Structure 1
């Protein structure tokens, strides 16, 4: 097992990978900053996504309206990186889909495809993680065209 990065090193790692998707998003006319906070949060903190590292591993938390929606821990650098970038990637893909919507087609077709394109720019393993998520989503809620 590899060493757990400290929070600052984790932030630098995630940002360096995220910058690989920026030119691809820019080609689509989309500018999407990574809005993940790299620090420990409190329940009365600002809302948003938080990533930090401690002796337990990497933490990913989502806080909205003083409600903690996610509080996940992993020792996997790939997994925490994916969690940290997925929200911004999804937002960028949603903007792209809204600008390029095809009437009568399930919006997720374009959105999932665009997310995969952005994630592939970061690294194949991140696109593979998303594909697993999409497969599970589509088993329960198939495309409706």
Structure 2
């Protein structure tokens, strides 16, 4: 792999009940289990961070694919949802849902861009074959 960029983060405390920082200070926040997992919910959690990262990365991939095809994309959004569940073997697993809105494009063109973005997005490539990822084009 030809490395183009490296991100670093440090977790301190007790992981899901701790603190995360990046060397540049851009991220500096408490990580707290959600109420659904017995925590206070008074901070971010790893699944929220993953959902935000995947949504932003996938959104960028859509724009990159659109530029390569000379298609203008405006007013687009990508919503990310990360589900955490039991794997039935004493461990946990993730599933991801991405909802893409490309309001100014015909449905078939929007789907074509989303399908292409799913092939180039680094998050999609990292998760492919490892966790269930559902990508849906929506009007809303």
TM-score (norm 1): 0.36
TM-score (norm: length of structure 2): 0.37
More strand per residue: 2
Higher relative contact order (CA 8 A, sep 6+): 1
Structure having the larger proportion of residues in helix: 1
Higher-Rg structure is 2
